């Protein structure tokens, strides 16, 4: 009997998350080009950033329940196809509404991938490697987004934003074929039960009524709202305030996104050492709130604002590892892991949907980026309060190993 986790397969699954995160990272560096090409206002641009996650806001829990019913592998592959289709169609968009519609299509595919894939990892990894594997999985957003932002200046030397969309469509299509072949042996682990809407509704109600999934989801709202808001508008902020070029702004934003990985991996290690996850979440909330004030501080010194971004991102990385890594433990049952993951993602998408437009509105009304300080600071404080609610909830046991709260 093989006692080792199939790390090759796990990293191939991880790749699906990274390519999906490419679709998030490809927008901020070319936002100004898209605004000029299609005549888009700053407020509308905020929706281009956040509407990508709108489907998650509406359908996260439902999609998780569908995955539990029809098969996680099937939904993951379908999600990659949807993203490829949306990216290709988006490259030909001639108007803001048309581009917005293709972003919704991409967002639907993104949702399918990020809900299905961690459940597949949960199925194939050995129990002793679960925390490590899920900690690695939580790096898919910062790694994918930062890698896309690093590659974009090179890609844009030979094409425009439409070409970037087409290249992503080709890469997603090729990876779908690779993933279909490599994951074929794990199909039997998640056979289709067929879609029975009564059972799906029961699964969703059971998950929503469970305190663990609900509190985890609320915590994830606070993190996702802050992180996408800061990351999404950082290129615009440093370009307008300090005059950096698009390439420089893209690389600086990629740096801010990349260091989030250190927080992800540190959280996994600290949890392994026995540190309670609610304490890590509380620490992250406090530091993110203080850092937000530094990011939007009215100062002529770029290094001060940017240092705030780096600290914000590193400590913020503790939260997704703590929250997403706890999903298997706090799910009402082992058969509702994807449904619970869907609920967490749905709440996270809610934060991402409202964050950028709210900040854009505040900046437009006040004429200053400093409005972001108190807005994000209040959200961070809410996350700290919720972490203490989590400390009062006891997780399930998996394989005799209780995951500490």
For the purposes of burial, counting CB atoms within 10 Å of the CB of 272, is it exposed (0-12), middle (13-18) or buried (19 or more)? exposed
Distance CA(318)–CA(219), nearest Å, equals 12
Within 10 Å of residue 157's Cβ, how many Cβ atoms?
Answer: 8
Structure tokens at 90: 């988006």
On whether the CB atoms of residues 217 and 95 are closer than 8 A, the answer is no
Distance CA(103)–CA(118), nearest Å, equals 23
Number of H helices, E strands in the chain: 19, 2
SS3 call for 269: helix
Per-residue confidence in pLDDT tens, the chain, 405 aa: 567 888 888 899 999 999 999 998 888 788 888 888 888 887 787 777 777 666 666 665 666 666 666 677 888 899 999 999 999 999 999 899 899 999 989 988 998 898 888 888 877 888 777 777 877 888 888 889 888 888 888 898 888 999 999 999 999 999 999 998 888 876 544 455 555 556 666 767 777 667 778 888 899 999 988 888 888 778 777 877 778 877 788 788 888 888 988 998 888 888 878 888 889 999 999 999 999 888 888 777 888 889 999 999 999 999 988 888 787 778 777 667 777 777 787 788 788 778 878 888 887 787 777 777 888 888 999 999 998 888 887 776 543 334 445
| Measured CA angle at 143 (ends 232, 24), to 5 deg | 35
| Domains of the chain: residue spans and CATH | 7-402 (1.20.1250.20)
Predicted local confidence at residue 12, as pLDDT? 92
Structure tokens at 195: 């879609």
């Amino acid at each position: 009997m093989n006692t080792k986790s199939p790390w090759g397969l796990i990293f191939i699954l991880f790749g699906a998350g990274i390519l999906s995160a490419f679709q998030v990272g490809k927008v901020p560096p070319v936002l100004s080009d898209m605004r000029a090409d299609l005549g888009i206002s700053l407020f509308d641009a905020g929706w281009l950033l956040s509407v990508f996650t709108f489907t998650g806001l509406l359908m996260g829990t439902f999609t998780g329940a569908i995955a539990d019913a029809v098969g996680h592998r099937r939904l993951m592959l379908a999600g990659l196809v949807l993203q490829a289709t949306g990216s290709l169609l988006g490259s030909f968009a001639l108007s803001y509404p048309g581009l917005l519609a293709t972003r919704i299509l991409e967002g639907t595919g993104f949702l399918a991938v990020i809900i299905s894939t961690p459940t597949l990892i949960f199925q194939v990894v050995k129990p002793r490697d679960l925390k490590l594997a899920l900690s690695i999985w939580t790096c898919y957003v910062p790694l994918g987004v930062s890698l896309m932002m690093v590659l974009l200046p090179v890609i844009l030397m030979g094409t425009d934003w439409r070409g970037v969309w087409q290249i992503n469509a080709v890469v997603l299509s090729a990876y779908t074929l690779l993933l279909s072949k490599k994951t074929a042996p794990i199909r039997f682990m998640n056979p289709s039960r067929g879609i029975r809407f009564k059972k799906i509704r029961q699964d969703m109600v059971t998950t929503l009524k469970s305190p663990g999934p609900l509190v985890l989801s609320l915590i994830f709202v606070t993190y996702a709202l802050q992180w996408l808001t800061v990351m999404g508008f950082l290129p615009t902020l440093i370009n307008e305030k300090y005059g950096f070029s698009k390439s420089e702004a893209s690389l600086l934003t990629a740096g801010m996104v990349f260091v989030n990985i250190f927080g992800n991996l540190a959280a996994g290690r600290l949890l392994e050492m026995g540190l309670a996850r609610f304490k890590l979440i509380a620490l992250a909330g406090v530091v993110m709130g203080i850092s937000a004030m530094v990011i939007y501080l009215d100062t002529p010194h770029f290094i001060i604002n940017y240092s705030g971004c780096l600290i914000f991102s590193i400590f913020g990385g503790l939260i997704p590892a703590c929250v997403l890594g706890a999903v298997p433990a706090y799910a009402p049952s082992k058969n509702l892991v994807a449904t619970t993951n869907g609920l967490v993602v749905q709440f996270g998408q809610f934060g991402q949907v409202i964050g950028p437009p709210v900040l854009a509105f505040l900046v437009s009304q006040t004429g200053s980026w400093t409005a972001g300080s108190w807005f994000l600071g209040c959200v961070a404080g809410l996350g700290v309060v919720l972490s203490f609610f989590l400390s009062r909830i006891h997780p399930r046991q998996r394989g005799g190993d209780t995951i500490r709260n």
